[in-house]
Every structure is written in C-alpha cells, then in structure tokens.
Amino acid sequence: MTVHTTACPRNCYSTCAMRVTVEHGQVTAMDPHEGNPATSEGACLKGLSYLERVTSPERILHPMKRTAAGAFERVTWDEALDLIAQQLETARRQHGPRSVFYYSASGTKGLLNSCGLAFWRQFGGCTTTYGDLCWPAGLEATRLTFGDNRQSAPWDIAEARLIVMWGKNASETNLHQMRFVHQALDQGAVLVVIDPRRTPTSDRAHMLVQPRPGTDGALALGLAHLLIEAGHVDLPFIRDHVQGYEPFAKLVKSWTPVRTAKVCGVPEGQILELADLMGQVAPMSICAGFGMQRYTNGGQTMRAIQALLPLTGNLGKPGAGWIYANLATQIFGHLKDPLDFYPPEQPDGVVRVSVSTARLGVDMAAQQDPPLKVGWVERGNPATQNPDTPAVLAALRSLDFLVVVDERLTDTAREAHLILPSKSLFEQTDVIGAYWHAYLQIRQKVMEPPGEVRPETEVYRALGLRLGLTPDQLAECLPEPGDAGVEAWLEARLAPHGLNLEHLRQGPVLAPGAEEVAFADHRFTTPSGKVELLSDEAVARWGVDALPDYHPPVESQAAGGGKHPLHLLTPNTKNSIHSQFLPLQVIRQLMPGPTLEMGPEDAHARGLKDGERVRIFNDRGSLVMPLRISLGMRPGAVAAFNGFGAEDGGSVNLLSLGRETDLGHGAGFHDNLVEVERA
C-alpha cells in the first residue's frame, strides 16, 4: 500500500488537494490533504466517484473506429495512427495545414495540455478557436476596472461582515468556499444572494434578491444611485483611487429605485434595503459567480457590479473586495494573460485563430481558404457544451475526418470517425493551477493506464513519427517518452519559479504572487493607475460604452411577450462538472436525468403538474423532460442543468444560440428564450 499527494484537475473552483491510497495498482481510498487549507474537507462526491470513474465499464480503453454501419469497432493503435496520419497528410497536401481544426476545452487542467497546440505548430499549423465558454466576460471586466484579476485568499471572506453572493451558487459549484462563508455567518455577518433561482447557497441568507435574468447591471446602477444619494460613499478613496466617479454619478442619477425595480422585476423596498446594507455594513465582499456574465451584456454587467466596491471603499482591506477569479497560479505563460482568450491581432503565421468558441458551429462552417477538412477534439465535448448544438453537429459532420480523444462515448465522440482513449487523473503526472485559491499542485501518476490507454503526449509522439517530424521538432513540442520524460519536462518549467516536483509531492505550494488581501497596495494596473469606472480601453477594444451603462441582453428583451416568453437558465449542478461524472452509477442515484425547474405561477398558467413530461422549445429546437415545480424559481424563468447529452434528452444547448458576450468573447448561454408545454 502506498499513499500519494495529488489534486483534482477538473475545471472547478475548489481544485481539491487529496491523498490517494493505492493497493495492488488500484486507487482504493481518497482522503483530504491538509496541505491545502482551502480544501481541507477533501473531495466532494464527484471527487470520491473517481473510484468508479477510472474503472468504469463505460471507459474507452482502446482506439475505436466508426464502421460504415455507424457502430464503433476496436482497432489497433497502429491502424488508428496510420489512418490519422494518412488523413492529415492528404488534408495538408490538398488544402494546407490550416484545413486541420484543433479544438480543446476544459476537460482537465495541466501544463501538459499546451503540448497539443505545440504539436500542431510542428505539423505546419492548424486552425483553432478564440474566446472561452466560461468566464472571459468577467475576467475582462475585472481587468478593465481593476487592472488585474487578483483576489484575496479564500479564507479572507470569513472576515467579511456583508457577503454578497452575486450570480454564484457556491454551495454547488465551490462548496469549500461555504465553510468560510459559514464562519463569517457564525460571527454575525450578513449574507445576501442575488440569483433568479433560489439555490442551496441561500439556505442561510438574510436576503435573496431574484432579478429578471440579465438585468443585474441595472440593479447595480440602481444600488450605486442610492449609495451616492445617501452619502454612503468613501470620498477620500474615490479621490485618490477612482477614475470616472463624476460621470458615473451622473449616469446613475437616472437609475431611481422605481426605474430599477421595473427593469429588474425586484421589489423597490428590497433594493432600498440592500443599498442600506451596502452603505452601512463593512467590510463587504462581493463574490461574483459566472451566471450573470453569460449574457450579451455580461461584461458591462460585471463592470457595473464592480463599481459598488470602490464607491464604498471596500477594496484592499481584510474581508472586503471582489472575489471572481484568482490568476495567481497562472505563472506558466499560456494562461497568465486573460488576453490569451482573444484573437491575436497578429496571427502567428502558422496557427489561424479564427473560430469563435461561442459560435463554434457557424464559424467552422464559414472557414474558407482553406475550408476545414480534418478535426481533432480533445478535453472537450462541444456537441453538448457549446451553444447552438445543431450548428456544432453540422460542422463536425461536414468534416472529412474527425478524431476525438476522450475517456467515454460522449455526444462529440459519437460524431468521430476515430476515437482515441484518454488518460485519467491518476495515470500521468502533471502540474495544475487553480482559480479560487493560489496553490500550485501536483497531479500525480499513481497507477498505470488501463487497457491500451496512452496519455495524449505519447499519442502525439507516435503520430509525429508517422508524419516524419524530426527529433528536434518532437523535442520542441513534447516531453521525451515515458514518465521520466514527463518529469524532466515539468521540472524545466518549474525551475524558473524556484519550484520542483519533489516539493510539490510534499504538498500544495502557494504560487509566488499569492496575496492574503488583494489590492492592499492600492496598485491598479489600469492605464490611469486607478480603478476605472470609466474605461477608454473598453471603448477602444470592445466598442462598448466607456461607463458600464445598462443595455438589455439581445434575446431576453422580448421575454414576457411573444411566443417564447420564458428565460431558460442552464446552470451547473453539484452532481457534475459540465458533462463529466453524470453517467456514473453513484451520481445517477442522485440525479437520474434532466429536469426542468419552473415556478408555480408559470406552471399554473400552463396547466402543468409536478412530475409530468414537458416540452421546452423555441425556434431552434425542443427537448422533453420531467417538470419540477419549485417555489424557488422566479416567475418568467425556468432552469435545466447543462451537461446531459442527447441520450438523456437533456442537451440544453439545442435551444441556445451562439452569441458572444460584449467583453472577452464569452458565450451568452443564458440569454435564451423558450416556451414550455405538456409533452
């Protein structure tokens, strides 16, 4: 029996440190690792379900090729690699390397992920995506306002007297954060949750504000109006550290409680009460989730919310500030700069970055000179996770040849001509960062991959040899073969930061720039050196207003009237990380399939009963699933979790359109209108 330090590499705030026990080559136990005080309770149920996930009979253990009849049959690695090499060579010869499309998303964290694109550069180039499905509107808003995505240590929120959980459902998506929230509450802090849905995060909330989806920007402007009018502003802080206060104050003059209440669909009294809390209870932490930035106005919404902190002087102090994303661990270059998500003004000449990930299907189809011929998907499941599923499927199906690297048969893998098996978190060593805490962690190889599974780096090496890459070219993009090669590759990247693998094996290590209290230095790396309520860069780069004025989201404007009057929210659940974990038995027991949540008024108006099957539809598509009537749902809004696929009838992006957010090239998933009827 051996015990190893490792960490969960899923795209999740918590990024838990763990100790795993291995007996006879199999993981038999997963325990908390005290070296990461942010996640000291240990892994969640999903984490514990790795015991099932890595040995699941559903796991793909060898290459599989689609037959003419549409089934998948096992092939050898030699057959698979020969076939891929031949397809790639044909595409490159006939259309040039940019006819190869490389798509990767957020399936796993790790420095070795960068080998993918590095390989395609050596191939001669490829076409790939820009933007991100997740958080870029908020990242860019934060950068424009504060200069950088810095945030205080996770436990600092325990010092807050007022916590505003704004569009974040931490009880499900960052459950380790709730421990520190509970500490604050136990010491008398006030918790406000702002979400159109009542979620478990509001179980101990003093106030739940349920705005009309996509109107949070207006709510923030209305709150700013009241704070300024009541004189609840920190004028010395504003004088020294804020740019644009005067024009901002002028803008919010028109955001009276009456107007704000009308736009947001929130009682006027609640807005007054919240403004009072913000004006009188300090320190205040605003913990912003990703919910309200998944709209076409999401970036400006985030800027408007951020303004409430400098107005009230809630920056750079313990228990105060903006909690959105901590990029302290992104020290290895390729993720450091949120600008990486944007199309480079000067493409590097080899890689064409021309497909918006929010518009994946439509943009793929639009590629000419050359058109896309061969696709390679790894760490992503675009057939369920990207907006506008029909366009995504059409684009994938129009390729001559599609390779998907995954550990199970996802909706995307079903579209592949060839599926390659992927490693699990226990089967290759890597180094991972996080975006809530500031710990760098090792994700350790603790067992041999099962079956014929090979890590991506080994697959690329074998493919590179077939494509005639020279030893120098292979060394340029990949580690040397085997575990020793991977470790040497990682050491070379850690060394410049004074780190090494042995150190990480002892336990999580704080990133060099980690801060206890962000912005305590009052250093804002914006063009003016101040917090920018007014941003010329926002205008120049994104063509939005210099002030975070409110504009309704494109589609939601028509809510209430018309044939599709309901907002469809498609949030995340504690039971999955997007499309991952849902198929496991242990998870199925808790969540057997998709459901649609609807408030009693909307259900009554449609004559619908709890538990019956309903059809959710708009002009883009329809889905059928059981209805769950919930007192916690705001009238006019319904919700179904994202992550389920076609087989479960829960592929929610059949109903969404690929619209980019106003800042950062994100995806406006929640700006989505539907109607619901009995199925």
Under the criterion CB under 6 A, does residue 169 sit at the interface with ligand MGD? Answer: yes
Which of the listed partners (ligand MGD, Mo ion, none) does 406 bind, with a CB threshold of 5 to 8 Å by partner kind?
ligand MGD
Our CB check for ligand MGD shows the closer of 92 and 578 to be: 578
Q: How far is CA 257 from CA 11, 372, 585, 591, 635, in A?
A: 38, 52, 49, 41, 21
Given 149, 330, 576, 630, the residue binding ligand MGD (CB under 6 A): 576
> Cα(27)–Cα(50) distance, rounded to whole angstroms?
9
Given 242, 405, 547, 673, the residue binding ligand MGD (CB under 6 A): 405
Which of the listed partners (Mo ion, ligand MGD, none) does 149 bind, with a CB threshold of 5 to 8 Å by partner kind?
none
> Cα(510)–Cα(355) distance, rounded to whole angstroms?
35
> Cα(29)–Cα(529) distance, rounded to whole angstroms?
50
Four-residue CA torsion sign, 440, 443, 444, 446: positive
Cβ-based neighbours of 465, under 8 Å, separated by 6 or more:
474
Which of the listed partners (Mo ion, ligand MGD, none) does 49 bind, with a CB threshold of 5 to 8 Å by partner kind?
none
Our CB check for ligand MGD shows the closer of 526 and 618 to be: 618
Our CB check for Mo ion shows the closer of 81 and 392 to be: 392
Given 122, 285, 367, 385, the residue binding ligand MGD (CB under 6 A): 385
> Cα(558)–Cα(655) distance, rounded to whole angstroms?
16
Count other C-beta atoms under 10 Å from residue 658's C-beta: 22
Six-digit token string for 344 = 């480079």
Contact 576, 12 (CB under 8 A): no
Given 63, 289, 479, 636, the residue binding ligand MGD (CB under 6 A): 289
Which of the listed partners (ligand MGD, Mo ion, none) does 35 bind, with a CB threshold of 5 to 8 Å by partner kind?
none
| Phi-psi sector, 519: left (phi>0), alpha (psi -120 to 50), beta | left
**What does residue 32 show for φ and ψ, rounded to 5 degrees?**
-60, 155
Torsion, CA 585, CA 419, CA 645, CA 375, rounded to 10: 150
Given 290, 342, 401, 542, the residue binding ligand MGD (CB under 6 A): 290
Cβ-based neighbours of 378, under 8 Å, separated by 6 or more:
103, 104, 107, 116, 404, 405, 406, 422, 456
Under the criterion CB under 5 A, does residue 8 sit at the interface with Mo ion? Answer: no
Q: Which x/- pattern, by CB under 5 A, does the window 127-156 give for Mo ion?
A: -------x----------------------
> Using N-to-C axis directions, what is the helix angle for 216-229 and 298-311, rounded to 10°?
20
- In the complex, the smallest distance separating the C-beta of residue 134 from Mo ion, rounded to whole angstroms, is 3
Cite the beta strand spans of 89-229 per DSSP E. 100-104, 126-130, 162-166, 190-194, 207-209
Which of the listed partners (Mo ion, ligand MGD, none) does 396 bind, with a CB threshold of 5 to 8 Å by partner kind?
none
Q: Which x/- pattern, by CB under 6 A, does the window 448-467 give for ligand MGD?
A: --------x-----------
Task: Find the residue with minimal CB distance to Mo ion.
Answer: 134
Under the criterion CB under 6 A, does residue 569 sit at the interface with ligand MGD? Answer: yes
Our CB check for ligand MGD shows the closer of 110 and 316 to be: 110
Under the criterion CB under 6 A, does residue 168 sit at the interface with ligand MGD? Answer: yes
Given 36, 202, 326, 570, the residue binding ligand MGD (CB under 6 A): 570
Q: How far is CA 315 from CA 159, 310, 319, 584, 659, in A?
A: 13, 6, 9, 43, 33
Q: Tell me which H or E stretch contains 78.
A: helix 77-95
Burial class from Cβ neighbours inside 10 Å (0-12, 13-18, 19+) for residue 250 reads exposed
Looking at the chain, how many residues does it have? 679
Residues 435-474 that bind Mo ion (CB under 5 A): none
- In the complex, the smallest distance separating the C-beta of residue 301 from ligand MGD, rounded to whole angstroms, is 8
- In the complex, the smallest distance separating the C-beta of residue 94 from ligand MGD, rounded to whole angstroms, is 27
Our CB check for ligand MGD shows the closer of 152 and 424 to be: 424
Residues 647-676 that bind ligand MGD (CB under 6 A): 652-653, 656, 669-670
Given 140, 156, 159, 195, the residue binding ligand MGD (CB under 6 A): 195
Q: Which stretch binds ligand MGD (CB under 6 A): 189-197, 250-258, 279-287, 354-362?
A: 189-197
Six-digit token string for 121 = 């550069």
Our CB check for Mo ion shows the closer of 289 and 650 to be: 289
Under the criterion CB under 6 A, does residue 359 sit at the interface with ligand MGD? Answer: no
Burial class from Cβ neighbours inside 10 Å (0-12, 13-18, 19+) for residue 179 reads middle
Q: How far is CA 272 from CA 181, 250, 263, 308, in A?
A: 24, 19, 15, 14
Which of the listed partners (ligand MGD, Mo ion, none) does 423 bind, with a CB threshold of 5 to 8 Å by partner kind?
ligand MGD
Six-digit token string for 27 = 């993981």
Under the criterion CB under 6 A, does residue 645 sit at the interface with ligand MGD? Answer: no
User: How do beta strands 566-569 and 673-678 pair?
Assistant: antiparallel
Under the criterion CB under 6 A, does residue 644 sit at the interface with ligand MGD? Answer: no
Under the criterion CB under 6 A, does residue 423 sit at the interface with ligand MGD? Answer: yes
> Cα(651)–Cα(623) distance, rounded to whole angstroms?
8
Our CB check for ligand MGD shows the closer of 122 and 384 to be: 384
Our CB check for ligand MGD shows the closer of 189 and 657 to be: 657
Q: How far is CA 338 from CA 11, 134, 135, 303, in A?
A: 16, 12, 10, 16
Which of the listed partners (ligand MGD, Mo ion, none) does 88 bind, with a CB threshold of 5 to 8 Å by partner kind?
none
Task: Find the residue with minimal CB distance to ligand MGD.
Answer: 291
Count the residues of the shown chain that bind ligand MGD, applying the rule CB under 6 A: 59
> Cα(224)–Cα(245) distance, rounded to whole angstroms?
11
> Cα(109)–Cα(120) distance, rounded to whole angstroms?
19
Residues 94-153 that bind ligand MGD (CB under 6 A): 105-108, 133-135
Our CB check for Mo ion shows the closer of 161 and 294 to be: 294
- In the complex, the smallest distance separating the C-beta of residue 408 from ligand MGD, rounded to whole angstroms, is 6
DSSP annotation string for 582-642: TTSHHHHTT--S--EEE-HHHHHHTT--TT-EEEEEETTEEEEEEEEE-TTBPTTEEE--S
Under the criterion CB under 6 A, does residue 197 sit at the interface with ligand MGD? Answer: yes
Our CB check for ligand MGD shows the closer of 243 and 381 to be: 381
Under the criterion CB under 5 A, does residue 547 sit at the interface with Mo ion? Answer: no
Q: Which stretch binds ligand MGD (CB under 6 A): 307-315, 496-504, 526-534, 570-578?
A: 570-578
Q: Which stretch binds ligand MGD (CB under 6 A): 7-15, 88-96, 493-501, 522-530?
A: 7-15
**What residues does 624 pair with on adjacent strands?**
615
- In the complex, the smallest distance separating the C-beta of residue 41 from Mo ion, rounded to whole angstroms, is 22
Count other C-beta atoms under 10 Å from residue 62's C-beta: 17
Contact 199, 193 (CB under 8 A): yes
Q: Which stretch binds ligand MGD (CB under 6 A): 213-221, 336-344, 543-551, 626-634?
A: 213-221
Cβ-based neighbours of 463, under 8 Å, separated by 6 or more:
81, 84, 85, 88, 119
Given 159, 363, 378, 549, the residue binding ligand MGD (CB under 6 A): 378
Binding residues (CB under 5 A) for Mo ion: these are: 134
Binding residues (CB under 6 A) for ligand MGD: these are: 11-13, 105-108, 133-135, 166-169, 172-173, 194-197, 199, 211, 213-214, 216, 289-292, 294, 378-381, 385, 405-408, 410, 422-423, 456, 569-572, 574, 576-580, 642, 652-653, 656, 669-670
